[in-house]
Homo-oligomer: A and B are copies of this chain.
């Protein structure tokens, strides 16, 4: 039985970790960390867990936690994990960080985009970027996993094969992303009130969103050179789901079958990536609650561009689900344990 501690268990990603781990046959949550609700019954905050979780919330004490847990998930704001982690902790427990602290290898890039001094740059080299479909082998032996951001997961998996194969010009990549509101977290802000989000759509963080360098870094590995791109997120009136629509110019004449064959080759053994049938556009509802990413593409011969699309549940494959997938790899479990959940429709 893997003993699991969660720091930030009452945020939306933390709550999703609890939901998923309750269905995992080899994991047991021993610590529901939540600074804001210490000593309150976890199920009084998330009533969906009434009679399923009996524990109360505990403080964010990573030192104490490292003694009791085999793995620690940090589902907390940027900066917290880096400020808490140290050699002693990493020698006792695996750490899967759902924040951005260890996703970018270049500390300067982190500090520039996040406007934060990095508290533990010494672990940046060691940390493994936990995009399982791409870094599976390195993940297995890691101590510290940087769980990918929601937008970067969906964007990278949708675009990576065509960059890697040199089929698109990386300098032409434009990613237009749409996210449900759970991605904004559970903080009580006016902007996230029901009446402000409902019946509304807007772009935000235009040309400045922090997930931009993360996507650029990952696609840069595929391209073998630096990638600079446009990424524009939008807030959509729905709870869950991310859809990305990406555009890039083709570097050569290709047919539908050519491109389909590439996606199939990259993902034929990937349970969680579904390459859809011709002309079927991904929809966030078709993956809701599951760890799947649905991808597809369309070639536009008029403009010589390819439109790449990906849909995913931002709280599952975009956060908690991928974190559990990483945990499974770290502990030699079946990678899909606890994650064989069919999407819920409607």
Q: Which of A101-109, A142-150, A299-307, A325-333 contacts B (4 or more CB under 8 A)?
A: A299-307
Instruction: Encode contact with B along A269-301: 1 for CB under 8 Å, 0 otherwise.
Output: 000001011001111111111100010001110
Q: Which of A66-74, A152-160, A192-200 contacts B (4 or more CB under 8 A)?
A: A192-200
Instruction: Encode contact with B along A199-234: 1 for CB under 8 Å, 0 otherwise.
Output: 111111011000000000000000000001110101
Q: How many copies does the complex hold?
A: 4
Q: A118 at the A/B interface (Cβ < 8 Å)? A: no
- A173 CB, nearest partner CB in chain B, Å: 9
Within 8 A of B (CB), among A25-80: 44, 46-52
Q: A94 at the A/B interface (Cβ < 8 Å)? A: no
Determine the residue in chain B with the shortest Cβ distance to A287: B48
* Residue from B51, B203, B307, B342 within 8 A of A274 (CB atoms): B51
Q: Which of A82-90, A123-131, A239-247 contacts B (4 or more CB under 8 A)?
A: A239-247
| B281 with A203: CB separation less than 8 A | yes
| B245 with A198: CB separation less than 8 A | no
* Residue from B51, B236, B247, B344 within 8 A of A237 (CB atoms): B236
Q: A121 at the A/B interface (Cβ < 8 Å)? A: no
- A286 CB, nearest partner CB in chain B, Å: 4
Q: Inside 8 A of A342's CB, which chain B residues have their CB?
A: 18-19, 22-23, 48-49, 52
- With A188-B190, A281-B204 in contact, is A240–B286 under 8 Å at CB? no
Q: A138 at the A/B interface (Cβ < 8 Å)? A: no
Q: Inside 8 A of A345's CB, which chain B residues have their CB?
A: 15, 19, 46, 48
How many A residues, CB 8 Å from partner?
A: 84
Q: Inside 8 A of A99's CB, which chain B residues have their CB?
A: none
| B199 with A243: CB separation less than 8 A | no
Q: A253 at the A/B interface (Cβ < 8 Å)? A: no
- A106 CB, nearest partner CB in chain B, Å: 15
**Which 4 pairs show the lowest CB-CB distances between chains A and B?**
A200-B285, A48-B343, A195-B346, A207-B300
Q: List residues of chain A with CB under 8 Å of any chain B CB.
A: 12, 15, 18-19, 22-23, 44, 46-52, 174, 176, 178, 180-182, 186, 188-190, 192-204, 206-207, 228-230, 232, 234, 236-241, 243, 245, 247, 274, 276-277, 280-290, 294, 298-300, 302-303, 305, 307, 309, 311, 340-346
